[in-house]
Amino acid sequence: MAGLQSIDGLASNLNTTEIINAIITNERRPAVLMETEQALKAKELSTFNALSAKLLALQTSIAGLNDSRSLGQASITLSNDGILDATADGLVGTGTYMLNVLSLAQNHQIASHGFDDPSQAIMGTGTITLALGSRSPVTLTIDSGNNSLVGIKNAINDANIGVTATIINDGSGSKPYRLILTGDQTGRQNAVSVTSSLSGGLNLDFATSVFDAPELLSVSSQSTSGISLGATAAYTGTENKTYTFTVGGAGSQTVGTGNIVIDWTDGSQSGSLVVSQADDEVIGPDGLKLSFTDGSLTSGDVFQVTTFAPVLQQAADARVSIGSNAAGASPLVVSSATNELKDVISGVTLNLKAVTTDTTGPVTIRTGLNTDGIKKKIQSFIDAYNDVKDFIDEQNKFNADTKEAGVLLGDLTLMTIQSRLSRLVSQPVAGLDNTINTLSSIGIRIGTEGKLSIRDSARLTDALEDDFQAVLKLFVDGGSSTTDAISFIGAAKDVKGGTSFSVDITQAATRGYLQGQRVTDPALSGLSLSESNNRLKLRVDGIVSNEIVLSSRTYATGDELARELQSRINADEKIGKLGITVEWVDLGDDGYFKMTSGSYGSSSRVEIVASITNGAYATLGLAGDATMHSGDDVAGTINGEAATGKGQVLTGKEGNATTSGLKLRVTLTESQLGEGNEGTVAVTRGMASVFVGALDDITKTKDGVIARKTGGIQKQIDSIKQQIEDFDERLELRRESLTKKWAELETVLAQLQAEQSYLSSQLENINANFAQILGNT
* Model pLDDT, residue 143: 94
Distance between terminal CA atoms of the chain? 59
Fold classification of 106-208 is: Immunoglobulin-like (2.60.40)
C-alpha closest to that of 568 among 583, 551, 593, 544: 551
Contacts of the segment 421-428: beta carbons below 8 A, 24+ positions apart: 421/385, 421/388, 421/389, 421/694, 422/446, 422/450, 424/687, 424/690, 424/691, 424/694, 425/385, 425/452, 425/687
Calculate helix-pair angle for 16-27, 705-776, nearest 10 degrees: 150
Which of left, alpha, beta for 743 (phi over 0: left; psi -120 to 50: alpha)? alpha
**Residue 570: Cβ-neighbour burial (10 angstroms; 0-12, 13-18, 19+):** middle
Model confidence at 121, pLDDT cuts 50, 70, 90, reads low
Q: What is the CA radius of gyration of the chain?
A: 47
Instruction: Compute the Cα dihedral for 768, 770, 775, 776 and give only its sign.
Output: positive
**Model pTM score:** 0.77
Per-residue pLDDT tens digits for 306-356: 999 999 999 999 999 999 888 778 899 999 999 999 988 988 999 999 999
Model confidence at 5, pLDDT cuts 50, 70, 90, reads very low
**Count of CA atoms in the C-beta half-sphere (13 A) of 87:** 5
C-alpha closest to that of 93 among 346, 298, 341, 293: 346
Per-residue pLDDT tens digits for 269-310: 999 999 999 999 999 999 999 999 999 999 999 999 999 999
d(CA 67, CA 73): 11
Contacts of the segment 399-404: beta carbons below 8 A, 24+ positions apart: none
Per-residue pLDDT tens digits for 175-207: 899 999 999 999 999 999 999 999 999 999 999
Secondary structure of residue 581 in the 3-state scheme: strand
Per-residue pLDDT tens digits for 660-703: 999 999 999 999 999 999 999 999 999 999 999 999 999 998 88
Per-residue pLDDT tens digits for 214-236: 999 999 999 999 999 999 999 99
The percentage of residues in the chain with a pLDDT greater than 70, rounded to a whole number, is 98
d(CA 702, CA 695): 14
d(CA 234, CA 208): 9
d(CA 351, CA 82): 11
